[in-house]
Structure 1
Amino acid sequence: MIAHNSPPLPEKQTRLRSSEAALRKALRAAREEGLSVERLCITGGQYEIHFAGIEPKSPAPNDEGLKEW
C-alpha cells in the first residue's frame, strides 16, 4: 500500500470566479505599462495572463531642436 502525504484541505473552500470587468482592468493596466500579452488562458472560471515583454515606446524624433521649414 502506498501512503500519500497530501496536505489537508482548508476547512472553508471558496470559489473564485473571474469577471469580464476584472479581466478588462488587468489587460488595460498591462497595456498602460507597455506589456504585451503572449498568452491568455481561461480555465474553470479563472484566468492566467502570460506576458511576452515590454513593447518599446515610439522614439522621439531626433530633430536636434531644429524647426520645420
Structure 2
Amino acid sequence: MIPEGSKTPDHSGKRIRASESAVSAVLRAMTANGIAVGKICITGGQVEIIAAGVEEATQPKKSGGPKDW
C-alpha cells in the first residue's frame, strides 16, 4: 500500500487505480473457477476482493451404529 502523498514505486507520482475492466476480469475469472466472492472493499484507488469461506459439509447424524438383526 502506498501512503498518502507518497510517490508510486516507479517514482512517476501517478496514482495507480484498478480499472473497471480489470476488476470485472478478476470477478469473471473467480466465477469461472467456482470461487465465490464474499466481500469487495473499495477504498480510494484500492480494491480488495475477498473470497467467501468454504462451508463445511454437514455431518450426518449419528444413528448409534449398525442396527441389530
Q: Normalising by structure 1, report the TM-score.
A: 0.56
Q: Which segments of structure 1 move beyond 6 Å, counting only runs of 4 or more? A: none
Structure 1: gaps of 5 or more residues: 1-8, 56-69
Query: Which structure would you say has the larger RCO, counting Cα contacts within 8 Å and 6 or more residues apart?
Result: 1
Q: Percent identity?
A: 46
Structure 2: gaps of 5 or more residues: 1-6, 56-69
Quote the Cα distance in structure 2 between the aligned partners of 1:28 and 1:47. Answer: 15
- Residue 22 of structure 2 aligns to a residue whose secondary structure is helix
Q: Normalising by structure 2, report the TM-score.
A: 0.56
More strand by share: 1
The one-letter code sitting in structure 1 at the alignment partner of 2:26 is A
Across the aligned residues of Structure 1 and Structure 2, the Cα RMSD in angstroms comes to 2.4
Partner of 1:24: 24
Shift of 1:41: 0.3
